[in-house]
Structure 1
Amino acid sequence: MSKNSTPLNERSQYLLKTLINCYVEEGAPVGSKTLAESAGLNISTATIRNVMANLDSMGLVSAPHTSAGRVPTNMGFRMYVDSMLEFSPIENAIKEKLQLQLNADQDKDTLINMANNLLSDITQMAGVITLPKSGQLNLRRIEFLPLPDKKILAILVVNERDVQNRIVHVDKDFSQNELVKISNYLNQHFMGKDIFQIRSLLIKEMQGARTQVDELMAAAVNLADQALKPDDENESYRLQGQANLIRFNEADNANQLQQLFQVFQNKRDMLGLLDRCIQAEDMQVFIGSEAGIEGLEDFSVISVPYGTKESTLGVLGVIGPTRMEYSKVISAVNITARFLSLALGAEAK
């Protein structure tokens, strides 16, 4: 994260920090009288106004309305995060919950979803996690279960014990007996092969049959083609708890809220930002316009890598308003990623 090198004396730093803490708590511009009471310094409101005017001229605070007090700017938040932050210890109850629910008895996909859900719940913000890049995934077993509305649940066991569930949309209803025959065929002929190669092998096999293709074979090709798609064709990251952001004042404008959710839907922008986080290989805090994405000007993105000792698998983080308790949120992101990494490391053995 970039550093703000603007020098401030001790009193100015303390007042800026106090102003930010008041603003985070109340969500409203902070006046000189309130700031004086909160700071607990034996100085006049006139002195505080002079300090605020100086901070304003440096671009660290601004006055949204005349005589309405001041709010920190994104630059002020950046200085606060870089040089004034005191990290809050995580409550034991939260640690115990993370340790209990992020355990190695679960498969990778479950752990990833669980970590994202827990982080969103803990911070009451939007959780975001990138999915590991798919390496060699060898099929151990595949099963299909019929669902209503012409849908089928495909259950894949790949490598040693990684279980993946995918919904497949079909043109007709299949009986359980038909699905068992299809899964038996796939398991018998393709067990141990890379799941991405199975699709092309099936299609080649079907194209090579000059005579009328068996209906069961055609169904197997169709189901396998959808169920065995690479992860990056389906999704590259997951969001959880976007609705949490509606409760913040920053999101009370309908147009602003619409822009925010458009950012979530625009995978190109989000993936570009998350790729920057992965490449950095350490904690990243993007405040407002630092993310370089229109619609995130009043929001911050905090991320940290997760993975095993052997490799980084992705990043886990939150998207929330710039008016957030950075010390608590950063601590929550860090410890959640740590427990996820521990579980994945044990799960991979």
Structure 2
Amino acid sequence: MKTLVERYIADGQPVGSRTLSKASGLELSPATIRNVMSDLEDLGLIASPHTSAGRIPTARGYRLFVDTMLTVRPLDTVSEPQLQPDQPQRVIAQAAQLLSSLSSFVGVVTAPRKSSVFRHIEFLRLGDRRVLLILVAPDGDVQNRVIFTQRDHTQTELIEASNYLNSQYAGLTIEAVRERLKTELDALHAEIAALMRTAVQVGSEVMAETQEQVVVSGERNLLGVQDFGHDLGALRKLFDLFEHKTELMRLLDTSSRAEGVRIFIGGESRVVPFEELSVVTAPYEVDGCIVGTLGVIGPTRMAYDRMIQIVDITSRLVTNALTQR
């Protein structure tokens, strides 16, 4: 079984009993191997394409191979790549491109999950019952939103509101601020209290918006994969997945809750529901906390040992680059 999977991954051609007899080193006759292959086929681990007497692994067969037979050897074709500790979004884009170039498949990376903690908040009067809300996160990230108020506020009132929020709540999460505001605003003017509640609601929405970013690189690489390059229907579904990204976010979010590299084969992920596709993922960290996930999407006939190393190395590179900032 191990030899069959390795030969099919390397050559992309169904593997026959004569080939296995020569390649396995087990000194078994082709007839004996045919009997074993028949048993493996009955177990659903290999299958026979219509055009060949040889066999190919099924998704179940790949799963058995990855779980029990895979030997991961050090990469010898990758010189130590580097990601520059620049803006987080640039690091993420570089990582997606690196995953794609090293794997020759599709690289996907979720942007770091933003902390819902705010370091500083400020209100700027725009007039006509419009106020510019400025939120500064602990990492220096700045988000601006225009909010609409029940009445026009003076800049003095806005300064009073921002000073109160910064002195009482800076360093807390938006959710914690929301809970405390429910019981601590009785002493403030009703108009200012309403302004603060609006600011917290908008702040919560801002934080939620920043969680949906996923960078995809190398989608066109799949056009050259012989396993499904001619199946236009499958490719159309795939590119739709990459374009909308919501389902992809679900898969990567699930992966972020586990340590180390995870492998989804065939339709196991239920997010990339294609028997011909596999996904290899790993989380990355900033200052010891998991903040995102990255991975490679490619055919089930991929060199899993190599993909595991590529994903693992890139995860550590992203962790180092973002932690150095």
TM over 0.5: yes
Which runs of 5 or more residues in structure 1 are unaligned? 1-15, 141-155, 164-193, 211-224
Q: C-alpha distance in 1, partners of 2:36/2:4? A: 12
- RMSD between aligned residues: 2.9
Query: What SS does the aligned partner of 1:280 have?
Result: coil
> Structure 2 counterpart of 1:281, which letter?
E
What's the % identity of the aligned pairs?
36
> Structure 1 counterpart of 2:78, which letter?
I
**Matching residue of 1:107:** 87
Tell me, yes or no, if the aligned pair for 1:283 and 1:304 is still in contact at 8 Å. yes
CA distances 1:278-313 after superposition (whole Å, capped 9, x unpaired): 122332110011011364221001100101233101
> Structure 2 counterpart of 1:121, which letter?
S
> Structure 2 counterpart of 1:245, which letter?
L
**Matching residue of 1:281:** 259
Is 1:120 the counterpart of 2:100? The answer is yes
Is 1:250 the counterpart of 2:227? The answer is yes
CA distances 1:150-198 after superposition (whole Å, capped 9, x unpaired): xxxxxx99658767xxxxxxxxxxxxxxxxxxxxxxxxxxxxxx62xx4
Q: C-alpha distance in 2, partners of 1:296/1:66? A: 22
**Matching residue of 1:334:** 312
1:47 corresponds to which of 27, 32, 49: 32
Q: Could you tell me how far 1:116 is from its partner in structure 2?
A: 1.4
1:316 corresponds to which of 287, 294, 297: 294
Tell me, yes or no, if the aligned pair for 1:305 and 1:315 is still in contact at 8 Å. yes
Q: C-alpha distance in 1, partners of 2:238/2:140? A: 34
**Matching residue of 2:78:** 94
Q: Could you tell me how far 1:255 is from its partner in structure 2?
A: 1.3
> Structure 1 counterpart of 2:152, which letter?
G
Tell me, yes or no, if the aligned pair for 1:256 and 1:295 is still in contact at 8 Å. no
Q: C-alpha distance in 1, partners of 2:87/2:135? A: 10
**Matching residue of 2:216:** 239
Tell me, yes or no, if the aligned pair for 1:31 and 1:68 is still in contact at 8 Å. yes
Q: C-alpha distance in 2, partners of 1:25/1:204? A: 64
Structure 1 pair 110–157 and aligned structure 2 pair: CA distance change class (3 A): farther
**Matching residue of 2:152:** 208
Q: Could you tell me how far 1:58 is from its partner in structure 2?
A: 1.0
Which runs of 5 or more residues in structure 2 are unaligned? 122-133, 155-201
**Matching residue of 1:17:** 2
Q: Could you tell me how far 1:42 is from its partner in structure 2?
A: 1.6
Q: Could you tell me how far 1:269 is from its partner in structure 2?
A: 2.0
**Matching residue of 1:30:** 15
**Matching residue of 2:238:** 260
- TM-score between the two structures when normalised by the length of structure 1: 0.68
Query: What SS does the aligned partner of 2:275 have?
Result: coil
Q: C-alpha distance in 2, partners of 1:266/1:87? A: 34
Query: What SS does the aligned partner of 1:249 have?
Result: coil
Q: C-alpha distance in 1, partners of 2:17/2:97? A: 40
Q: C-alpha distance in 2, partners of 1:298/1:42? A: 32
Tell me, yes or no, if the aligned pair for 1:259 and 1:295 is still in contact at 8 Å. no
- TM-score between the two structures when normalised by the length of structure 2: 0.72
